[in-house]
Amino acid sequence: MELLDLERSPAPTTFFKHERRALKIAVAQIETRLGELDANLKKHLDIIAQARDAGAHCLLFPEMSLTGHNAGGFSLDLAIQQSDPRIGMLAEASGEMWTLFGLIEEGASAQFYNAMFAVRDGKLPFLHRKINLATYGRLEDGKHFAAGRYVETFQLSDFWRASALICNDVWNPALVHLAALHGATVLFVPASSARESLGAGFDNPGGWSIVCRFYASMYGLPIVFSNRVGTEQDLTFWGGSRILDAFGEVLASTKDEEALIFAEITVDAVRRARYLLPTVRDSNLGLIAREVTRLQDILGVPEAVRRY
């Protein structure tokens, strides 16, 4: 298996022809068994075969789909390096279809990440490491994982450029803004969202519905959201996976059972949406860079201190 080369994006192959105007997207909403890598791997391989048979161009699994949600405390036992044979098996099985799945990655210097790998054609051309680690409510990502440091994109074809943000990443609007400015024309969002994560008073399913529609319509950016289902320890995962077009309309969705859903997103819809609402075009990157630099030195510094 060819390992990741962050200096080069993969060139489009015959599967993603230059003139391709639409992508068939698949979302796998699954229940993952905590720590049972072999069983989870088999489920991934079975679903990859189904999605390929259905003609999907891209397939998204939930966050940490190979390991289970509460796997952080088992990082030493469950962490997977890029060279692990199981990654090669998934990459080979994907063929020309992109497959995105979640795991604990063991990186250099024994650093552990909540990561999403994107594989195809026996290769690992792209990965994203979760940046906005959840350390609130009943969530403890920051206790177990190192934070990712980059928002990046990868090329699907001449027009289609993808980015991926993991679950809590999209609750930091700046990260989605960065993905859009990097040129993303589709955003993949794997999640492991449970009803009990934040306690009573916070509607996780309702919040995700608003967030997905807001980003899609604000940026003219199709959103591919995959959340897991089932129970793990005392958490209940509610599913609700969906695919939205560039106008924020839900093209396909599912409820709270395992499912494989499909929808087609089109170049024409993205072009129209961004022409009518030019959020990306009108983003003032110079202003943002200047203000962020200025705020670094004053944000949180008391006025009495700044006077001196």
Q: What single-letter amino acid sits at 149?
A: R
For residue 8, the model assigns a pLDDT of 43
What pLDDT, in 10s, does the model give residues 160-208? 999 999 999 999 999 999 999 999 999 999 999 998 888 777 899 999 9
How many percent of the chain have pLDDT more than 90?
A: 80
Cα distance between residue 104 and residue 238, in whole Å: 22
pLDDT beyond 60 at 2: no
For residue 138, the model assigns a pLDDT of 82
pLDDT beyond 60 at 10: no
Q: Identify the CATH number of the domain defined by range 22-306.
A: 3.60.110.10
According to DSSP H, which parts of 190-230 are helical?
204-219
Cα distance between residue 147 and residue 210, in whole Å: 26
Cα distance between residue 182 and residue 176, in whole Å: 10
- Taking residues 265-276, report their average pLDDT: 97
* Domain range annotation of the chain: 22-306
pLDDT beyond 60 at 5: no
pTM of the predicted model over 0.75? yes
Contacts of 126 (CB under 8 A, 6+ apart): 4, 9, 10, 117, 118, 152, 154, 164
Tokens standing for residue 253: 């969705």
Place of tokens 């403890």: 140
Query: CA dist 276 to 121, 126, 208, 223, 272, Å?
Result: 37, 32, 25, 18, 6
User: Residue 266 pairs with which residues in a beta bridge?
Assistant: 22
